[in-house]
Amino acid sequence: MTPAYDFIQYETEGRIARITLDRPEKLNALSHELRGELFHAMREAEADREVGVIILRASGRAFSAGYDLAPQPQPSAYVEPHSLMPDTGSTHPNHYDWSRHTILANWMIWELSKPVIAQIQGYCLAGGTELASICDFRIIAEDAQVGYPPVRAMGTMDMMWAPWFLPPGKARLFAYTGDAFTGKDLEWMGWATYAVPADQLEEFTEQFAERLGHIDNDLLAYNKRAVNRQYEIMGIRTGLMSGTDVEAMSKHRPAAGEFGRISREEGLKAALEWRDGPFRDFRGAYSSAPHNRPLASGDGSENEKPVNA
C-alpha cells in the first residue's frame, strides 16, 4: 500500500518510481515535513524490487526555492520527534547544527542503492541545489535558474557542492555571489547531465530513466557504489562536512543577524528583497527592493539571530 503523504506525490510504473515535490504554492520550499516525506518515499522505492530508477521532480513552476524560512508547522510522522527534522541518527542538539543536519540527511540519497534523476524546471535555489546535487543525474530545462542567494547576506552554502561539480572560477562565482546559472550554463559546466527545452523536459527524463531501467538492480547498485567510492577517496565526505564548520562560523560574524532582524520586523519578503536588492535578481528584481541599500553591518550582539537558509 502506498503511504499517505501531504507534501509529495509518490507513484510507480514499471521500473520507474516518481517522487514529486508538491508545494507549488510555496515554490516547493523544503519544509521539515516535506523532506521527511521525501526521504521516506526514497526508502519505499529502494525496497521495491520492481523499481530500478527513481525520478525526483516537482509540481508547478519551480523545482525548489530552497529551505523553508517560514515558521515550521506541527511535526508529522515523518520527522524525528526530538529534532523535529528528518531523522539522520543524530538529534542535532547543538547551536548552528543546521548545515550538518542537511548533509547527513542528503547522504541517504547518496547511499541509496538505486540511481536518482533530478528533473529540474524553473527556479532551483539554495537548498534545492543541494538536493539536486546529491542525486546521480540532473536533467534540467534550458531556461531554468539555479542559484544560491543566501550567500549574499545570511551565510556560506550549507553543502559546499560547487567546487566538486563546477569549474573553479564558476564555483567561486556561485559560492561568493549566489548568481543564477541557466540550465544551458550548467550543462557545459558539467553539473547538469543534460539540458533540454522546457517543453521536452518530462519526456526526455522519462526516456532516460527507461534506458537506465534496462540494467538490473544489482548492477545499477554496484555501478553507483563504484562511482561514489571514487569521490569518497578524493575526499568529498570530509570536504562537505568540513564546510559545515565554516558555515556555522559565517553565522557568527557581526552582520549575521541583519537578515533575521529585517525578517522579524518587516517580514520575510522584505528581508529577501533587502538581500537581493543590489543584485537586481530573484527578489531584488522587484521595484520595491532597495537596490542601493547600505552594506550590512552589526555588532555581533546576542539579540541578532540569523535565520537558516
Consecutive sets of 10 residues in the chain, 309 residues long: mean pLDDT of each? 88 98 96 95 97 98 93 77 87 84 95 98 98 98 97 96 97 97 97 98 98 98 98 97 94 93 94 95 93 82 45
User: Same domain for 267 and 160?
Assistant: no
Q: What residue numbers bound the domain in which 153 lies?
A: 8-248
> Is 178 a domain residue?
yes
Helix axes 258-266, 268-276, angle to 10 degrees: 140
Q: Pick the last residue of a domain from 226, 248, 270.
A: 248
> Is 130 a domain residue?
yes
User: Same domain for 152 and 186?
Assistant: yes
User: Same domain for 147 and 286?
Assistant: no
Q: Spell out the alpha helix ranges (H) of the chain.
A: 32-47, 98-111, 127-133, 162-165, 168-177, 183-189, 201-212, 217-234, 236-250, 258-266, 268-276
CATH of the domain at 230: 3.90.226.10
* Placement of cell 527507461 in the chain: 210
Residue 72, pLDDT score:
66
Residue 301, pLDDT score:
46
Enclosing H/E stretch for 1 = none
User: Same domain for 125 and 168?
Assistant: yes
Instruction: List Cβ neighbours of 176 (8 Å cut-off, separation of 6 or more).
Output: 151
Tally of structural domains, the chain: 2
User: Same domain for 284 and 165?
Assistant: no
User: Same domain for 117 and 199?
Assistant: yes
Q: Pick the last residue of a domain from 248, 276, 292.
A: 248
> Is 298 a domain residue?
yes
User: Same domain for 142 and 269?
Assistant: no
Distance of CA 187 to the CA centre of its chain: 18
Q: How many whole angstroms separate alpha carbon 295 and alpha carbon 256?
A: 12
Residue 63 phi/psi, 5° resolution? -70, -55
> Is 213 a domain residue?
yes
> Is 1 a domain residue?
no
CA distances from residue 90 to 72, 87, 104, 185, 229 in whole angstroms, order as listed: 20, 7, 9, 37, 24
Cell of residue 81, nine digits: 520527534
Q: Pick the last residue of a domain from 233, 248, 263.
A: 248
Q: Coil, strand or helix: which one is 28?
A: coil
Instruction: List Cβ neighbours of 80 (8 Å cut-off, separation of 6 or more).
Output: 86, 87, 88, 91
Residue 96, pLDDT score:
78
User: Same domain for 236 and 262?
Assistant: no
By DSSP bridging, strand 62-64 and strand 145-147 are unpaired
> Is 3 a domain residue?
no
User: Same domain for 194 and 46?
Assistant: yes
Residue 306, pLDDT score:
43
CA distances from residue 265 to 35, 83, 93, 285 in whole angstroms, order as listed: 28, 27, 27, 22
User: Same domain for 201 and 273?
Assistant: no
> Is 2 a domain residue?
no
* Placement of cell 559545515 in the chain: 244
User: Same domain for 36 and 184?
Assistant: yes
User: Same domain for 206 and 279?
Assistant: no
